[in-house]
Structure 1
C-alpha cells in the first residue's frame, strides 16, 4: 500500500453511549503527529470502557485516538500543514489537513465538550489552555466560560493559561511589519476555537514534553477526571488542581533570522521584571517587561514566528 493510499484512509473514532441522558464529550489525540501521549491515553481509556473498568452510564464519549493520521504515520508535527491552524470546513480541500479537517469538524459539531490532548517541545510543567470569559465580541464570542473553567480545573494539572487568540492577534499585528506572508486571524483557530464557535466548550491539555513517559499517564488521568466531572461515569467529583492561572498578554517575534529565546526558561516559569528572556541577532538582549511568565520559548524560531509568549498572573480561577 502506498503513502497516497494510506492518506485516503478513514478517520477512526470510537463512541460509547450511556443509557441515561447526559453531555456529549469528544476526546482527541495526535492532532500533531509527533505527540504520542494522546493516543496512548485514549487507547487505554477505550480498553477500559470495553472491559467495563470505565462504565459510561450517561451521555456519550467519542474517542479519536489519532486526529491526524498522516502526521502520526510520519511521526511529524504536520502532515502537509498544521491541522490546529485555520481549522474549519472547506468544500474545496487544498491539502491533507483540509481533507481530514472536514470530518473532524463534523465530529466536533456533534458534541458539547472537547478534551484535546497534546504535548510540547522542550521541558516544562504540564498545563491546560482554556478560553475567554463570556463575551459578545467579534474575535471569540462565548457563553460557557463557567463550564469550561470547571473542566480545566479538574484535569489534574496545576497551571492554567488563557488568552491565546488575543495574543495571536497581537502576533499578526507585529508580523505584518515583516517581509513574510500575511496571515489571517483565522490561522489562530484550532480544535478548541472551532468547538466554541459551534456552541460547545473545550480545553487543550499539554501533558509535558513529547518524550516524557509520564505524559501518557497525565492524559489518561485527565480523561478519567473529565468523565467523572461530567458525570458520564459514577465517580466522585475530581479535586480542583489548578493553582496558577496565567493570562497571555504579549508575544515576542523573530524579526531577524537569529533572534532567539535565551536562558533556562521553560513554559510556565516565573520571570522577574528585567530578566533576559531572549536576544536579538545583533546581540541586543530582550528583557521581561514586568514580573510574569514565559510561555513556549523557542531557541530556533523562523522569521515571523514567536520567540516566546509572555503572561502575567491572571485573576480568573476555575470558577471564573
Structure 2
C-alpha cells in the first residue's frame, strides 16, 4: 500500500478536513504525506472525536454523501446535550429510494433550514427562471386538500355499520355464522403517531394497538374481555400508502369467541397476513361474595 501511495501526487485540500486518524481538523501538510495514509489504513477510525471536532468548529449542519444513511445514524449517537439536539443531519441517499428524489429531498431540507443553495446552478440548462410574486393580495379561496384526522369515511352509504372507532371504519355482520368482521386502514399519513415506533429502520405497529383492535372487536359483539391474545407476526407499515386491516370475530361457542387481526398492503391482491389471534369472553360479574353488591351503589 505504501508503494502505491508514494506513486501518487497530493494537493492541499481547499476546505477543512477532519482526520479520521486524529479526530481533529487536519493541519497543513498532514494529508499530503504517504505515511499519513498508511497510518489511516492501520489505525482505528476516530469518528466520534471527529464529530465533536466539527461541533467545536461551529458546524451545525452535516450532510452525508454515501450509498446509505449509515453515518447519519452514527453521528446522532455521538452528539449529546441541548445544543447538539439542534444539529441537522441530512443523508443524500437512502436505501430503497430513488436517488434523484432522495438527493432533492436533502437539498430541500437544507434550504428550508437556512442553508444557501445555488439555485441558478441547480436549474442551469433547464430553461427555468425566477419570477416575481404577485403584488395583489391572494383571494381567500382554499385549494389545499382537507387533512383528515385518520377517522374512516362514513360506512352507511355502503350498507355497513359504523365501527365508531378511530382505527376501524365499518362492522360487517355475517348472517350465516354469527361472526363479525371489522375493517379499517392504517397509514403514517392519517395516523402520524405510528411513525414514532421504529424498529431496525422499519415502522412497526405497536403490540398495544393489536390489543386495542381486539378489544374494540369484543365491544362490538358484547364480549369486552380479552381472555387471550397471541402475537403471530409484526405488522410492518409502509412509509407511503397504507395497510388494510381486518379484525374477525368468530361465532359464540361456550361463552367465548375467537378473534384474529389480519392485514395486507392496500392496492394489492396479496394474501392476508395473520398478526394476532386469541379469545374474547363476556365481562366477569362479581356477586355473592364478601364484596357484597357489585358494582357498588
**TM-score interval for Structure 1 and Structure 2 normalised by the shorter chain:** under 0.3
Q: TM-score, normalised by structure 1?
A: 0.22
Q: Which structure has the greater CA radius of gyration?
A: 2
TM-score computed with the length of structure 2 as normaliser: 0.23
